[in-house]
Amino acid sequence: MNPILATLLQGFFIILIAPFASGLVRFCKARLQGRKGASPFLPYYTFATLFKKQMVISAATSWVFRVVPFVVFSTSIALAFILPLLFVGGKLASMSDFLVVAGILMIGSIFLVLGGLDPGSAFGGMGSSREMTIAALVEPTIIMVFAAMSFVGGTFAIDGMIGQQLVFSHPYLLLSIFAFLLVTLAENARYPVDNPATHLELTMVHEAMILEYSGAYLAMLEYASAIKLTVFAILLSNFIFPATVGVAASLGIGSALVAGIVAIFIGIIKVVIAMGLLALLESVVVKMRFYRMQEYMSIAFFTAMFGMLIAMFSYVIEVAIEYHTLFAALAVFFVILLFGRARSQVMLRYYAFSSLSIAGIAFGLSFILGEEEKKHLWLFAAVTILIKSIIIPIVVRYAQRKHKEFISSPSFLRPASSYFVAVVILGATFFVMKQTPIIGVVEFDTLLFASIALVGLGLATMIVHRNIFSQILGLLIIENGVTVFTLVTVKSLPLLIELGVFIIIVASAFILSILGSRIREFHGSSDTEDLRNLIE
């Protein structure tokens, strides 16, 4: 399969399958909603029909309006030919430098924005303004995601990144891939950023910009959007399963044919699965209000940044990331997510996940340590899951049951600033650890970092949130941090002490929740701002 042929095959495959992909998403969504749904092959007919229709061009437009569909379509097909979708090492592989790819995406977005502004309608202006905001705010995330991958892989071309199969040996790159998933949803105008199915002002970004286009131009713009969706879906699946990508080496005719057919077959499977999952996601997730986009972008950016920081960290301290490190990072990560949320049910859920990750730490440590430690650690993990992930949330919910309205504990900070403060706390922890000479005395540096970070974040939760119940949660998080600390230093406690500690935790959580609930009944509010004065 020589490189030129591979690139051409890949490009034409993407161009041909794109309408099927966008039709398949609609079909799967319809089935999930209990409808029969139109055939997934309908978009082919739609595009053919659109080309036959007469175009209506507004008198307010200029030549820019006519240039837009061509530029947008050509950037989409450029992506289809350049990126490593079916084959790695195609003819244009050296062009898949991630900044060039980001730039090509941006050119497409810019011209779409100009096409929305040209007809001089308020709809188009609104869509253009929103789309440009999203494109501008997604750019740092794209750069951070690929910076992490190129830092780990040593190559700037996306072709090289996929060719090296980085994800298996570097599990923290899963964070970068998650951030890339969020970027994919934003760039392709999917939930929760944009709704491609409605024409309501509330939910339009992409649709608003192409509102004035009709006939052949509309076909080109929608086709370009479908191609972009297919490209991103296959690229994402290539990042997660890099082994499924073919290599474009020079082969004989027979094996080249076989390689080509296998690649096309794998491509079709990837498209079908990706579109099915996308339809599932769109049916489960709600479209976010546009002015909450900063939260979405912050989450994407900080996840990507987290991935990059862990990559740099592991390089500097030359520690291979093992399971327990991964779980420690997850534990801290869930607490950071908890930090920015307001609803108590969501916070309890994240706390449960964080405790689950701590059980995972114990589990991971059990692979490294000796036999008698293993039993203790497994018992510890099992009891942690039972008590912290299951019983404590039940206990706290039971204590709050008298108040059916959901307990919302707003914080003094907005979500984006909370994430920022959390990252600052992590950085401060890192610097404090670098200064004190504890490093080298204990074996597991990353766990020590995680435990101190958990204590710090728990304290910050108690300070920053305004609700009494969040004080309880902060205490529980601090206790989690202390648990990880004991795991690091002592590696496993005698059984009796462990059980005693767990019973105390459950009891204190129960008592504090009842107390909090009583305070709420008595004073009428659980907001600490209202509880500053004594009542007669």
Residue 156 binds another protein, judged by CB under 8 A: yes
Which residues share a beta bridge with 442?
A: 439
Residue 168 binds another protein, judged by CB under 8 A: no
d(CA 212, CA 123): 10
Q: Which of residues 273-332 bind another protein (CB under 8 A)?
A: 290-291, 293-294, 301, 305, 308-309, 312, 315-316
**Choices 211-219, 233-241, 347-355, 528-536 (CB under 8 A): range interacting with another protein:** 211-219
Q: How far is the CB of 151 from another protein (least distance, A)?
A: 6
Q: What 3 state SS string does 358-401 have?
A: HHHHHHHHHHHCCHHHHHHHHHHHHHHHHHHHHHHHHHHHHHCC
Residue 206 binds another protein, judged by CB under 8 A: no
**Choices 97-105, 225-233, 397-405, 514-522 (CB under 8 A): range interacting with another protein:** 97-105
d(CA 206, CA 177): 24
Residue 166 binds another protein, judged by CB under 8 A: no
Q: Which of residues 429-458 bind another protein (CB under 8 A)?
A: 434
Residue 114 binds another protein, judged by CB under 8 A: yes
- Report the residue number, 295 or 373, with the smaller CB distance to another protein: 295
- Report the residue number, 8 or 490, with the smaller CB distance to another protein: 8
- The single residue among 58, 244, 508, 528 that binds another protein, judged by CB under 8 A, is 58
**Contact (CB, 8 A) for 444 and 324:** yes
What is the Rg, in whole angstroms, of the alpha carbon atoms belonging to the chain? Answer: 27
The site for another protein, by CB under 8 A, has a size of 81
- Residue found by looking up tokens 């253009």 in the block: 128
- Report the residue number, 63 or 168, with the smaller CB distance to another protein: 63
Residue 81 binds another protein, judged by CB under 8 A: yes
Q: CA torsion, points 119, 124, 129, 133, in degrees to nearest 10?
A: -120
First-residue to last-residue Cα distance in the chain = 85
Binding mask 218-257 for another protein (x = CB under 8 A): --x-------------------------------------
Residue 421 binds another protein, judged by CB under 8 A: no
Which residues share a beta bridge with 88?
A: 247
Residue 515 binds another protein, judged by CB under 8 A: no
Residue 512 binds another protein, judged by CB under 8 A: no
- Report the residue number, 253 or 316, with the smaller CB distance to another protein: 316
Q: What 3 state SS string does 145-160 have?
A: HHHHHHHHHCCCEHHH
Q: How far is CA 256 from the centre of its chain?
A: 37
**Contact (CB, 8 A) for 498 and 487:** no
- Report the residue number, 118 or 222, with the smaller CB distance to another protein: 118
Q: How far is the CB of 129 from another protein (least distance, A)?
A: 5
- Report the residue number, 106 or 268, with the smaller CB distance to another protein: 106
Binding mask 115-154 for another protein (x = CB under 8 A): --xxxxxx-xxx-xxx-xx-xxxxxxxxxx--x--xx--x
d(CA 135, CA 129): 10
- Report the residue number, 118 or 194, with the smaller CB distance to another protein: 118
Q: How far is the CB of 106 from another protein (least distance, A)?
A: 6
**Contact (CB, 8 A) for 114 and 68:** yes
- Report the residue number, 194 or 212, with the smaller CB distance to another protein: 212
Helix (H, G, I), strand (E, B) or coil at 527: strand
Residue 215 binds another protein, judged by CB under 8 A: yes
Residue 100 binds another protein, judged by CB under 8 A: yes
Q: How far is the CB of 442 from another protein (least distance, A)?
A: 20
d(CA 335, CA 419): 11
- The single residue among 30, 106, 277, 531 that binds another protein, judged by CB under 8 A, is 106
**Choices 74-82, 227-235, 365-373, 470-478 (CB under 8 A): range interacting with another protein:** 74-82
The CA distances from residue 454 to 294, 304, 446, 476, in Å, are 25, 21, 12, 10
- The single residue among 8, 12, 103, 319 that binds another protein, judged by CB under 8 A, is 103
- The single residue among 4, 8, 16, 55 that binds another protein, judged by CB under 8 A, is 55
Report residue 343: phi and psi, to 5°. Answer: -80, 135
d(CA 16, CA 37): 22
- Report the residue number, 194 or 282, with the smaller CB distance to another protein: 194
- Report the residue number, 131 or 282, with the smaller CB distance to another protein: 131
Residue 73 binds another protein, judged by CB under 8 A: yes
What would the two tokens of residue 490 be?
């002592």
Classify burial at 84, counting beta carbons within 10 Å of its beta carbon; exposed 0-12, middle 13-18, buried 19 or more.
buried
Residue 278's CB is within 10 A of a number of other CB atoms, namely: 22
**Contact (CB, 8 A) for 17 and 267:** yes
Residue 465 binds another protein, judged by CB under 8 A: no
Q: How far is the CB of 220 from another protein (least distance, A)?
A: 7
**Contact (CB, 8 A) for 417 and 461:** no
Contacts of residue 88, defined as CB under 8 A and 6 or more positions apart, other chains included, come to 159, 162, 163, 245, 246, 247, 248
